[in-house]
Amino acid sequence: MSTPLTESPVSRSRTVERLVLGQATSDGAGVRLRRVLTPDLQQRLDPFLMLDAFGSDRPEDYIAGFPEHPHRGFETVTYMVAGRMLHRDSAGHEGLLQNGGVQWMTAGRGVIHSEIPQQEEGLMEGFQLWLNLHSSEKMMAPWYRDFAADELPRGQTAQGVKVTVIAGSSQGLLGAVSRPLTEPLYLDLQLPAGARFDQALPAAHNAFVYVYRGEVAVAGRPIPAQRMAILANEPTADGVVIEASQEARVLLIAGRPLREPIAQYGPFVMNSREEILQAMADFRDGRLG
Ligand code: FE2
C-alpha cells in the first residue's frame, strides 16, 4: 500500500560533514558484514551505536547466522531487504523476518536471542541498527515486534520517490515505531534517476545517509554506493535534500542525542563500567534473559 505524500520542501539543506567507508568484519558464528557505524562514531551519531550492512549471495558468508547471545541496555532494529532469518528469544518471542520486513527488539534489562538464516542459497541482504536507550529505560522490560513488508507505512512523492517509514514520520506519514526520548527517524528511500527528496530534520538531531545502491548527492557532494555520509548539524539548515544522479536506494536515519556516557562491552551498552560488570555477572548467573 502506497500513500501519495504531501511534500514539505526544505529551504536549506544540511551539508555532508564526512563520508565513511566502514569496516569489513564478521560477527555471530562468522557472518561477513560491513560495520558502517563503528564505535568511534557513537558519540558523534548519538543515539545510534552501530549500523551493520550485510549483503551476499554466497551462503558461506551468512549460513552460520547468530547463535544465542545476550543484549542489555539498547534496541536493535533489523531490516531485511532480501532473505529469511528466524529470530527466537528468552522473552518467548519468535518471528520469521523476510523480504522487506523489520524486527524491532528492545533488549531493555536483558534478552538472549538467536538469529538463524532460513535459506541455504540465494541473496541475503539487510541492515542491523543499534539504537541506544536513555538511562531511565535501560532496565525496562524487553519488547519485540515484527513488521512484514506490507505492514510498514509506505508513500510515494510526486517525483516517484518510494518512501518506507520504519520509524518517525515523513511528510505526514507516521512510521511503524515511535520513541519519545530518542525520536528516531528511519527511512528507506527508492529514488528514480533525477529525483529529489526533501526531509525536515531538527537541527540538533544527529543524522546520516547510507547509500546501498546507485549514487546520490547532498548539497552538491556525491555519496557513492556503500558509503555513509554524516550530515553536519547546521543551526540554519531545516532538513536534508537528497538528489539522485542515478537510480538509488538509501537509508536516511536521524535521532535526538541522549548526551549520556556510553559504556559498551560487546552486546551490553550501559552508562558506567559498574553497570557493565553487573550485566556480565547477571548473564553469567542466568539472571539476564
Ligand atoms: Fe543480537
* CATH number 2.30.30.90 given to 2-284: no
User: Where along the chain do its domains lie?
Assistant: 2-284
Report how far ligand 1's centroid is from the alpha carbon of 14 (Å).
33
Integer Cα distance of 200 and 265 in angstroms: 35
Distances (CA, A) of 107 to 140, 220, 227, 284: 8, 39, 28, 17
Q: Model's pTM, two decimal places?
A: 0.96
Could you give the 3-state DSSP secondary structure of residue 287? coil
For residue 51, what are the contacts with CB-CB under 8 A and spacing of at least 6?
35, 36, 37, 127, 128, 129, 130, 210, 228, 253
Q: Any idea which residue has 523480504 for its cell?
A: 99
Report how far ligand 1's centroid is from the alpha carbon of 263 (Å).
18
In tens digits, the chain (289 residues) has pLDDT values of: 588 888 889 999 999 999 999 999 999 988 999 999 999 999 999 999 999 999 888 999 999 899 999 999 999 999 999 999 999 999 899 999 999 999 999 999 999 999 999 988 899 999 999 999 999 999 999 999 999 999 999 999 999 999 999 999 998 999 999 999 999 999 999 999 999 999 999 999 999 999 999 999 999 999 999 999 999 999 999 999 999 999 999 999 999 999 999 999 999 999 999 999 999 999 999 999 8
Report how far ligand 1's centroid is from the alpha carbon of 237 (Å).
36
Regarding beta strands 196-200 and 221-223, do their DSSP bridges make them parallel or antiparallel, or are they unpaired? unpaired
Report how far ligand 1's centroid is from the alpha carbon of 9 (Å).
38
